[in-house]
Structures are given as C-alpha cells and as structure tokens.
Amino acid sequence: MPSVKEVCVISNRLQRSLETADHLLGKLQLAGFKAVDHLTSQTDLIISIGGDGSFLKVMHDLEYPETPVLAINTGHLGFFSEITPDQIDLLLERVSRNEYFIEEMAPLKAVITTHDETSTLRGINEVVIKSSLVKAIHLKIQVNGQLIQRFSGDGLIISTSAGSTAYSYSTGGSIVDPRLDVLQLTPLAPINTNSYRCFTSSVIFPPDACIQITPERDPEGYVLVSADGIDFPQEYFNTIDVSLDEKRIKMLRLKRHDFWNKVVKKFL
C-alpha cells in the first residue's frame, strides 16, 4: 500500500464533529502527517467527520475524487463510517504501518439530455426522478434498449447497493449487500388501475445495466432529479440514462466492513 503523508480533514459544523477534528489534527501533527483542510494534488487520504450525510456532501463537493476517503462517525449509526472518535489512535497506528486496504464502491451516473444540453450527475446512494409539481409523472423505462414498463406514479428511485438502506428502503426497496454491484429500481407510489399497470416492488438489475427514462407524454415538464438529496430541477428533459459509473469511490478500511452488523443495529 502507498504511504500516507498528507491528510485532508473535512468536518461538518456540529460541536462534536469540530471537537473531533481539532483532536485529530493535533494527533496527525504529532504523528508526523501533514494535515490540510482542502484537497490538493498531494493529498493521500481524505477524512470526513460527521454522519453519512456529511460523507455524501464531502464526496459531492469534491466531485468524487480518486483519493481514498475514510469517514469518522460523530452522528447516528453511519453505514459509510469506518471508526468512531475514540478509535483515532488506532487509525493513525494502522495508517503509519500501512496496515489498511482499499475497498472500491461504484457511484451512479445520470446523464440528462434536454433539447439544449447534456449534463451529468453522480450519486453514491441514489438518483430520484419525480414530478416537481403535486401530480403523477408518466415515464417510459427501458433497460439496455429493452422496454420494461410504462410507469405512472410519484416517481422512481434508482439506487446502488450502498444506497439500499437509505431512501429506497424507506419506500419498500430491498436491502442489498454492498459487495454486490447492482442497480435497484424502486417505484414511488405507483398507480394501479384499469388504465395503469405499474410494478409495485423494487427490481434489481446487473452492473452493466443502463436504465433509460424518457417521458411517456411529450413533453414531461417540471421534473425534479436529485442525487443523494441534492436537487437538480429540470423544466423538460428528453432522456435520463442511469448506470453505474466507471469511476470508483475508494474507501480506506482497517478491517472488513461489517455491513450486516450495522443493518441489525439500525433496522432489526
């Protein structure tokens, strides 16, 4: 493993997180690391302090960097966190000895095409497509060019396995082991009447799937697309193509990630 010399520390503004950041910065300097508060070309490790929301914000703000990242949890039970503040000494000891490994995680990439432009969004947990008005949205869903369904309802959630315990789960989606690279499509309030027939449970697709969303009624105006809770309103769109990104988030791990233990503590 490459040696870690420069560490970028980013904290949310909560008191416990700020205190943890101050404590960590002092420990880093004593251990001989260079500590910075912004990402540079020399940064070897990013440390996010806060909860899962803070981690997602850091990744978004830094535009999903290739630099490895580790999350210290100062909030509720964090699915992305590796340690708690009382384990900082252990972290520095392991990193000093290069006793860690990198676990890669694939975010989602959503390519939005309108009449005028093409834009790309990324999300670690999910991409959500729904009407920004209080009305049903009508969408055509294709996977790798094959028509799957004409959907009517409040909207759709497309999530990663890492995001399966977030918004998708709260709307009836399945919990997926993060070691599986899959896409999960979960309907939001699907309409099922004599006129509309929509799936009512989530559907799992393989890692090479490209889920294409197009308006069933042209044009489908005032659509809200969000990635990890960050909203990107679209007045109109032609297509939204969602797939697993070729980029990877590199998580620094001290031990094998105990995902199911966290599931038991949080949900069961």
Whether residue 206 has pLDDT greater than 90: yes
* Domain ranges across the chain: 6-105+248-267, 108-244
Whether residue 4 has pLDDT greater than 80: yes
Least confident of 38-47, 119-128, 130-139: 130-139
Helical (H) or strand (E) element with 215: strand 211-215
Q: Cis omega before residue 219 (within 30°)?
A: yes
Flag whether 174 is marked binding.
Answer: no
What's the rounded mean pLDDT across residues 212-231? Answer: 86
Catalytic residue among 22, 37, 44, 52: 52
Predicted model pTM: 0.93
At residue 1, the pLDDT reads 66
Flag whether 162 is marked binding.
Answer: yes
Percentages of the chain per state (helix, strand, coil), in multiples of 5: 20, 35, 40
Helices H, strands E: what count in the chain?
5, 18
By percentage, how much of the chain surpasses pLDDT 70? 98
Other beta carbons within 10 Å of 133: 11
What's the rounded mean pLDDT across residues 105-113? Answer: 97
What's the rounded mean pLDDT across residues 6-21? Answer: 98
Please name the CATH architecture into which domain 108-244 falls: Sandwich (2.60)
Sheet holding 137-143, edge to edge: 118-123, 108-113, 239-244, 211-215, 137-143, 146-153
Average pLDDT, the chain: 94
Whether residue 87 has pLDDT greater than 90: yes
- pLDDT band at 220; cut points 50, 70, 90: low
By percentage, how much of the chain surpasses pLDDT 90? 81
- pLDDT band at 173; cut points 50, 70, 90: very high
What's the rounded mean pLDDT across residues 136-153? Answer: 95
- pLDDT band at 265; cut points 50, 70, 90: confident
Flag whether 159 is marked binding.
Answer: no
What's the rounded mean pLDDT across residues 126-146? Answer: 93
Sheet holding 34-36, edge to edge: 34-36, 6-11, 45-50, 69-73, 249-253, 101-105
Pick the CATH number of 6-105+248-267 from 1.10.1060.10, 1.20.1080.10, 3.90.1150.10, 3.40.50.10330: 3.40.50.10330
End-to-end CA distance of the chain: 37
Whether residue 181 has pLDDT greater than 90: yes
Residue 52 known to be catalytic: yes
Flag whether 100 is marked binding.
Answer: no
Please give the C-alpha separations between residue 174 and each of 147, 162, 182, 262, in angstroms, as whole numbers.
23, 11, 12, 16
| 242-262 burial: b if 16+ Cβ within 10 Å, else e | bbbbeeebbbbebeebebeeb
Flag whether 52 is marked binding.
Answer: yes
Flag whether 37 is marked binding.
Answer: no
